[in-house]
Structure 1
């Protein structure tokens, strides 16, 4: 039985861990440090595989010579926090840790409020670009791991879906190890932020993290490696005051997913709720989703609604550039943002209409939308979004500062329309200007469905001309009305 997968975004593994406490996640990637923290507090979660071994991507980044008591931004209880502890021990420093989400760490570092960050990619690269230096990396700090984890309930009730998740992870990992395609790199770079160049993204994916196949070693070997990593994290968590007392028995911390068949219960919910973040650690999840690897492994993600940042990342560069130009106007000039969104969509739809029907679109874009919809070219959802955006554009000048909320709506509508345009353009066939049916062979001189003439020969030079042209491009002779 096919399982569906529902993706839930979090800013870090620690936030995903908290979602396990509330029962809203079935599986996620964790660093070994937050995993042990949750496990020590009774979180019903188990490690089912090794996602990555840390490379240079996880690091402490400081600017210049940090003071004896530097202020270091990190996520409390994270793998970055543990690496910072190792750095402090080796350099006899006594840092003051500032608990901040990854993006806020970079902002605080840029503003000079903190002396460094202890984090992971893409945030460490962004900090280096601000003048920072990696003073200790995950590769140098010990044997921390990123783990594929699942709840105890999911292990009991969704084992086939978890096995499908591991297969998807392995296939995406192979892609990352072999070098992703340019289109896949374009997508990942877009998700991780346009402030990160494609070349930087490629270097991080290739060198920043050691991508691990979850099945590359025996179950015993994986268990031993994971257990060693957890034991190494224990001393840090105790010294940081995050756990106390005896460490729970680690014998049950790692679960092996065998190949046993699961008895089917048609009344049981089959959704696998999967957590992920903007960390490049989660690139296999993002890549697997983008490359349809989840579906190939029997996990139906068609009902999952991608975050808008991932939807934009999947668009062509020209569309992404257009959306950036709208985004920059939303806060300072919301009315202009709506006007720009409407103008961009109107031009794109007009160009699409002209390519589709080989004729000048109606003066009012509403006419083009109606025709595209009537002929079945434009689905109802995209047509409704286009009409709604047109109305927002017409009304934006009268809304004043109230237009901020409408600018956000216009932005999302633009994303939806551009998504449809990109998908449709990739498979676009010309259409008959009279009946709207597809012209499957561009050499056809007339529509086989309604007999509308598409091509004629120029009466002066004999070269083929399209029916909508007013003059022959070969000799300049007027062709309008020729038979």
Structure 2
């Protein structure tokens, strides 16, 4: 895994402007290997379940990451072309002037974006987290969700202690009683509830915007062949999301098989609502800007982030037939 760090190191968020290259023909596309960065139960499982990996006009090389931030590090460093992440990692990437852009958006249910506590915990509401230790992957969608939940409860980041852990490590720490709470997303939420006696203290309802994104590297977007492959991939990915929304039980079965998840865990996660493609429009950008401003206001980021500067809408027309509001 690439280890070039994307850290919130400043407020400069103006990427290099670039034009849109011409698309290549099918013959050239056949020689492309698109490098797709993925997460557990992510794009590869989704496209497999939908039967959309059998007729690719290019090759795919998959790599798997523990969460969104390291996935975007790989894309920014040129180790991958495209990958899907939640709503918060692109904000941290933008704060670090990462060499990438958001190119497609989706929206899903937010019940699986949760703050979990052990079933026997005395904590009953978010305000009870004052003075407690919360496990979370830094810069992940869960980081954004727990920040907003704390703010709504009248708490700040100074009122709690964050233990920044990737999901596998946080799961172990949670089970061993080393964390008072754990902020995470599905399928980890469903897994912890089903297998680690976790209880939901708060979720993303009325808090999280539920967006996820496909982000692509600037160098990849500037390359005619890779740009063409990315255009085809984002459309294919949107079709797969629409298939999953209409075939939830079948998606859960394949998801469990592809990831090794317990079938009951997969079904519970899918019941929380799969992502569906939505237009990458001003509404999405404004919602993301609001989240970025919340991070800045909480001094989690050192300066303002212009999210719109890291949005590339070149594929909006290609996706028009797949998106829904």
Q: TM-score, normalised by structure 1?
A: 0.48
Q: Is 1:43 aligned to residue 92 of structure 2?
A: no
Q: Deviations over 1:367-404 (max 9, x none)?
A: xxxxxxxxxxxxxxxxxxxxxxxxxxxxxxxxxxxxxx
Question: Residues of 2 paired with 1:233 and 1:211: CA distance?
Answer: 19
Residue aligned with 2:205, SS: helix
8 Å contact from structure 2 (residues 110, 272) kept in 1: yes
Query: In the aligned structure 2, how far is the partner of 1:43 from the partner of 1:21?
Result: 5
Deviation digits for residues 276-309 of structure 1 (CA, Å, limit 9, x no counterpart): xxxxxxxxxxxxxxxxxxxxxxxxxxxxxxxxxx
Partner secondary structure for residue 97 of structure 1: strand
Secondary structure class of the residue paired with 1:24: coil
1:200 is matched with which residue?
A: 265
Q: State the 1:41 CA deviation.
A: 1.4
Q: Distance in 2 between matches of 1:42 and 1:136?
A: 32
Alpha carbons of 1:246 and 1:239: their partners in 2 closer, same or farther (altered >3 Å)?
closer
Q: Within 5 Å, which residues of 2 pair with 1:318-397?
A: none
CA 154–98 in structure 1, closer or farther in 2 if over 3 Å, else same: same
Structure 1: how far apart are the matches of 2:312 and 2:284?
8
Alignment deviations for residues 328-363 of structure 1 (CA, whole Å, 9 cap, x no partner): xxxxxxxxxxxxxxxxxxxxxxxxxxxxxxxxxxxx
Deviation at 1:65, TM superposition (A): 3.0
The partner residue of 1:121 within 186, 206, 213 is: 186
Correspondence 1:9 to 2:64: yes
Residues 201 and 144 of structure 1, relative CA distance in 2, 3 Å threshold: closer
The whole-number CA distance in structure 2 between the counterparts of 1:92 and 1:258 is 39
Alignment of 1:184-333 (within 5 A): 185-194=252-261, 196=262, 198-205=263-270, 207-214=271-278, 217=279, 222-248=280-306, 250-257=308-315
Distance in 2 (CA, whole Å) between partners of 1:97 and 1:258 is: 38
Q: Counterparts of 1:59-208 in structure 2 under 5 Å? A: 59-63=114-118, 64-66=121-123, 67=128, 68-93=130-155, 94-129=159-194, 130-157=196-223, 158-180=226-248, 182=250, 185-194=252-261, 196=262, 198-205=263-270, 207-208=271-272
Count of residue pairs the alignment pairs up: 250
Provide closer, same or farther for how the CA distance between residues 104 and 191 of structure 1 changes in structure 2, counting only shifts above 3 A: farther
The change in CA–CA distance for 1:249 and 1:193 in structure 2 (over 3 A counts) is: closer
SS in 1 for 2:303: coil
Shift of 1:54: 4.2
Larger % of strand: which? 2
Higher RCO by CA contacts (8 Å cutoff, separation 6 or greater)? 2
1:251 CA displacement: 4.5
1:272 matched residue in structure 2: none
Residue 121 and residue 192 in structure 1: after superposition, are their counterparts in 2 closer, same or farther (change >3 A)? farther
Aligned runs of 1:425-444 on 2, under 5 Å? none
Any idea what SS the aligned residue of 2:179 has?
Answer: coil
8 Å Cα contact 2:100-2:215 kept in structure 1: yes
**Alpha-carbon distance in structure 2 between the residues aligned to 1:167 and 1:132:** 37
Deviations 1:190-228 (A, max 9, x none): 34434x2x23312321x32342125xx4xxxx2213212
Tell whether the 8 Å contact from 2:88 to 2:144 is kept in structure 1 after alignment.
Answer: yes
Indicate the structure (1 or 2) with the bigger Cα radius of gyration.
1
- Corresponding residue number in structure 2 for 1:31: 86
**Greater helix share, structure number:** 1
User: How far has the Cα of 1:259 moved from its partner?
Assistant: 6.7
**Distance (Å, rounded) in 2 between the aligned partners of 1:174 and 1:96:** 39
Cα root mean square deviation, aligned = 2.3
Structure 2: give runs of 5+ residues left out of the alignment. 1-25, 31-57, 319-325
TM-score (norm 2): 0.70
